[in-house]
C-alpha cells in the first residue's frame, strides 16, 4: 500500500499560499485534464491534505511542462516509496515548493489579458523575494525573466486599467502619467532595476500606453475621467 508523506516544506509564506489558493480555486472550477489535476494537486499540497485518489501518470513530453510539475509534486508526496538519494530528494522538494508557491499561480493566471501587467510585475517581485527561500532558483528565474522584459513595456501596461487587481490609487497615477502633455519615449527594461520592489505599473506609463486602447478600438478619451468611474463606462468592462 502506498504511503503518502506530509506536504512539501511550506511553513510560513502565508500571503503566497493565500493568493495561490484563490487562483487555484478558480482554475479547478474552469479547467479540465492536466490543468485541473495540477490545480487540485497543488491546492491539496498547500493545505497539507492527502488526495484520496490519484490519476495514473500520463505522457511525459518536453513541450508539456505541466506533466513535469504533476510528476514532481506526486513524487514529493510519495517520497517514502522511492529510493532517492539525498540530492534527488532535495531537488524534488525544492522544485515542488517553487511550483506550489510561485509558478502555479502565475501559470493559471497567464491567460487573463487585463491582469497581465499586474501579474507580470508581481511575478518579478516574487522571484526576487524568493531569494530569501532559495537563492539558486531565484537567480536562475530572474535571469530568465530578464529575457522577457518587453512584456512590461509601455504599450501593454495600459491593459492594467481594466484589471480588478490594480487599486484605484495606482490606476489614478497611471492616468496622470497619460495626461502628461509631452510625448515620452517608450520605456522597456533592458536590465533589472536596482530596487525591483520599488517598481510600480505607473512607472512604465507614457503616451505610448494608449496603444492598448487604439488596438482594441476603445475610446481613448476616457482615461482622464476618474478611475472610480471606469467600471461604469459604456463599452468598458474590467478584467
pLDDT over threshold 70, residue 60: no
pLDDT score for 192: 56
**What integer is the mean pLDDT of 59-88?**
84
Give tens-digit pLDDT for 143-161: 888 888 777 778 888 889 8
Q: Residue 106: which pLDDT band, with cuts at 50, 70 and 90?
A: very high
Model pLDDT for residues 176-197, shown as the tens digit of each residue = 888 774 555 555 555 555 666 7
pLDDT at 1: 41
Stretch among 14-23, 46-55, 189-198, 214-223 having the lowest mean pLDDT? 189-198
Segment 30-59 shows an average pLDDT of 84
Provide DSSP, 90-150.
Answer: HHHHHHHHHIIIIIHHHHHHTT-TTTHHHHHHHHHHHHHHGGGT-HHHHHHHHHHHGGGGG
Q: For the segment 123-141, what is each residue's pLDDT rounded down to a tens digit?
A: 999 999 999 999 999 999 9
Nearest to 39 by CA among 50, 24, 49: 24
In this structure, the chain runs to a length of 239
CA distance 131 to 154: 28
* DSSP code, position 161: G
Helices 33-47 & 14-30 angle (0-180, nearest 10) = 150
> pLDDT by residue (tens digit) across 201-223?
988 888 778 877 787 777 766 55
Of 24, 67, 85, residue with least CA distance to 49 = 24
Query: Alpha-carbon Rg of the chain, whole angstroms?
Result: 20
pTM of the model: 0.80
The overall average pLDDT reported for the chain is 80
Least confident piece of the model among 5-9, 35-39, 107-111: 5-9
Of 223, 222, 158, 219, residue with least CA distance to 186: 158
Amino acid at each position: 500500500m502506498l504511503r503518502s508523506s506530509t506536504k512539501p516544506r511550506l511553513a510560513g509564506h502565508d500571503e503566497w499560499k493565500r493568493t495561490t489558493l484563490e487562483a487555484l480555486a478558480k482554475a479547478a472550477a474552469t479547467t479540465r485534464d492536466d490543468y485541473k489535476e495540477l490545480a487540485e494537486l497543488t491546492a491539496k499540497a498547500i493545505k497539507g491534505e492527502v488526495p484520496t485518489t490519484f490519476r495514473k501518470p500520463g505522457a511525459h513530453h518536453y513541450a508539456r511542462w505541466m506533466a513535469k510539475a504533476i510528476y514532481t509534486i506526486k513524487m514529493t508526496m510519495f517520497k517514502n516509496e522511492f529510493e532517492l538519494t539525498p540530492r534527488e530528494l532535495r531537488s524534488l522538494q525544492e522544485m515542488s515548493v517553487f511550483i506550489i508557491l510561485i509558478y502555479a499561480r502565475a501559470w493559471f493566471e497567464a491567460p487573463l489579458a487585463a491582469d497581465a501587467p499586474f501579474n507580470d510585475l508581481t511575478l518579478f517581485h516574487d522571484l526576487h523575494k524568493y531569494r530569501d527561500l532559495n537563492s539558486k532558483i531565484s537567480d536562475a528565474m530572474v535571469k530568465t525573466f530578464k529575457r522577457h522584459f518587453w512584456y512590461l513595456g509601455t504599450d501593454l501596461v495600459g491593459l492594467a486599467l481594466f484589471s480588478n487587481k490594480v487599486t484605484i490609487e495606482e490606476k489614478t497615477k497611471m492616468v496622470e502619467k497619460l495626461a502628461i502633455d509631452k510625448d515620452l519615449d517608450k520605456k522597456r527594461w533592458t536590465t533589472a532595476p536596482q530596487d525591483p520592489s520599488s517598481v510600480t505599473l505607473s512607472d512604465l506609463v507614457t503616451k505610448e500606453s494608449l496603444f492598448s486602447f487604439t488596438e482594441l478600438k476603445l475610446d481613448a478619451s476616457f482615461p482622464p475621467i476618474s478611475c472610480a468611474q471606469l467600471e461604469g463606462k459604456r463599452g468598458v468592462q474590467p478584467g
